[in-house]
Structure formats: C-alpha cells, structure tokens
C-alpha cells in the first residue's frame, strides 16, 4: 500500500490501520492479564475493579494471538492493495456470487475514494479556518465534514447514475484484461504452502519463549 501510494498513505487510512493495531494490542494485553488463578503468576495485582493475574501460559497465548492478528491483517492489506477490484468481482462471480452484489462492490470501491478525497479536503479547509482550536470546535468541524461528505455522496450518486447511463452501462463492468486462469500448478503450490506452514507450526512450537525474552526487563 505504501509503495502504490508513494509512501503517502491518506490520513484516514493511516488512522484505520493504527486503530486496528491498537485493538490488537489492547486485546492481547487483556488476554495476558486474565490467566488461570491456579497457575503461578508472573504478575499479580489489582487495578480498580480488575484483578490482574498474568501467567506464563496467558502471556504466551497473548503473543501468539497478537502475531496471528498482525499476520492476518497484513495479508488482507497486501491482497487488497495488489489485486484490481474488477478481478475480485470476477472471482466472486466465478463462485456463483450474485451479479448485483459483485457490481455493488465495484461501484462502492470506485466512488469511495472520491468521497474520501472530499472528506480530506473538508478537513484541510477546517484546519485552515482554525477549526480544531478546542475540543468543542474540533467536534463541530468533524461533524460538519461528515455531514458535507454525506450530502456530496447523494449528489455524486445522482451524477454518477447519469454518467453511467451515458456510457451505456448495463449493470456489468467489462474486464478487458482477464486474470490468468488457476491451473493445477497454483493449486499444488497452495496445498504445499499450507502443508509446510502446518508442519512448521507443529515442529517449531516452543522455539521462541516470550517469557524468557522479557524476563530480564520485567524482573520475572
């Protein structure tokens, strides 16, 4: 994504990615401090109405879930930023997904960036008018930008419908460069990767002990 945007990721997307990472960190942290009370504790205490009981197994499990979440989000971002949306729609149609849903996905994808650009322009305009000087003013500025984006989306929908009709839109976006068909080589490669990852996960379990890594810094 950074390469395709020349390392100029839009602010709203950066905030979305940051929010996802924050959710992963908070979720993994909650899992790590909710260990089994019958196991020896690495960290035991109380914060407000929360009882903190971090064990070795809960700490390891939290890191495992965090790494899996990061890997899954990274994979989905790589897949979404490297695959053209018409090819995704074609793949959905190949698995008998309704045509209306496929075309709706394409339309939303095409015009979402126009709305995003409009929203960012409104935020820049508010900043030029000192629209973030204070919490109350900032909330009003964001509310005005979201309201303006919604009104613009209605106008854009009407204009886009007329524009598509002028281009003889029949409810289908043609693909002039079809994706390569999935041959047996790719199927065999996918199966081999799945098997390799499975055995790698089975036989490398316990190689990295996060408790031992953090023990010198946490005093465990």
43: Cβ contacts below 8 Å, ≥ 6 apart: 33, 52, 53, 54, 218, 220
Given this model, what pLDDT does residue 5 score? 58
Residues 126-147: tens digit of each pLDDT = 888 777 777 888 888 888 888 8
Ranges in the chain, pLDDT < 50: none
Given this model, what pLDDT does residue 117 score? 80
**182-to-60, 96, 176 alpha-carbon distances in Å:** 39, 17, 18
Given this model, what pLDDT does residue 86 score? 76
Given this model, what pLDDT does residue 124 score? 85
Model's pTM, two decimal places?
0.61
Given this model, what pLDDT does residue 6 score? 63
Strand partners, 43: 54
Given this model, what pLDDT does residue 7 score? 64
User: The tokens of 183 are what?
Assistant: 């041959």
Q: What is the DSSP string of 105-157?
A: HHHHHHHHHHHHHHHHHHHHHHHHTTTTSSHHHHHHHHHHHHHHHHHHHHHHH
């Amino acid at each position: 994504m950074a390469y395709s945007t020349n390392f100029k990721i839009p602010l709203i997307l950066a905030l979305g990615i940051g929010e996802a990472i924050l959710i992963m960190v908070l979720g993994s942290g909650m899992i790590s401090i909710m260990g089994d009370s019958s196991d020896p504790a690495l960290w035991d205490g109380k914060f407000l109405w929360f009882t903190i009981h971090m064990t070795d197994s809960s700490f390891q499990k939290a890191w495992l879930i965090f790494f899996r979440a990061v890997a899954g989000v990274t994979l989905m971002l790589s897949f979404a930023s490297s695959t053209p949306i018409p090819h995704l729609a074609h793949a959905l149609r190949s698995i008998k997904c309704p045509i209306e849903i496929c075309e709706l996905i394409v339309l939303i994808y095409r015009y979402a960036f126009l709305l995003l650009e409009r929203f960012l322009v409104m935020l820049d305009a508010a900043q030029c008018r000192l629209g973030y000087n204070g919490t109350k003013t900032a909330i009003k500025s964001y509310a005005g930008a979201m309201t303006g984006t919604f009104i613009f989306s209605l106008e854009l929908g009407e204009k886009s419908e007329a524009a598509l009709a002028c281009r003889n839109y029949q409810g289908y976006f043609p693909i002039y460069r079809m994706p390569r068909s999935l041959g047996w080589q790719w199927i065999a490669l996918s199966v081999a990767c799945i098997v390799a990852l499975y055995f790698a996960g089975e036989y490398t379990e316990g190689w990295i002990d996060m408790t031992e890594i953090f023990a010198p810094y946490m005093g465990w």
